[in-house]
């Protein structure tokens, strides 16, 4: 029976969970509304960072809590009512 190291197990787990999912629709929606990361950070009543917004646009997998913070900020900054499904493909 072959022995597997902890590193083999970690590499296998990394393959199972894809974290980088490509550019997300939120990037297009922000561009259409003429918004930048700073606009979302400023509009948010919750604590979000430029890094969170950047990760959202690039397709880095976010927790549901961060997704809803980004959604809330985008809706306030754009003056529209988007849903999570319109912002993210995952």
- Which domains are present in the chain? 20-87 (1.10.260)
pTM: 0.78
Q: How far is CA 48 from CA 11, 43, 75, in A?
A: 31, 10, 14
- Provide the mean pLDDT of the chain: 88
Contacts of 20 (CB under 8 A, 6+ apart): 58, 59, 60, 61
SS3 state at 20: strand
- The pLDDT value recorded for residue 17 is 62
Phi, psi of 65 (to 5 degrees): -60, -45
Structure tokens at 52: 């969170």
Query: Tokens 């809330």 — which residue?
Result: 72
- The pLDDT value recorded for residue 74 is 97
Q: Would the pLDDT of 77 be above 90?
A: yes
């Amino acid at each position: 029976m072959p022995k597997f190291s902890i590193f083999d197990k970690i590499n296998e787990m990394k393959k199972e969970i894809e974290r980088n999912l490509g550019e997300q629709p939120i990037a297009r929606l922000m561009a259409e509304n003429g918004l930048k990361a700073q606009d979302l950070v400023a509009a948010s009543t919750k604590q979000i960072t430029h890094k969170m917004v950047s990760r959202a646009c690039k397709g880095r997998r976010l927790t549901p809590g961060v997704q809803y913070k980004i959604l809330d900020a985008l809706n306030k900054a754009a003056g529209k009512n988007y849903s999570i499904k319109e912002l993210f493909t995952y």
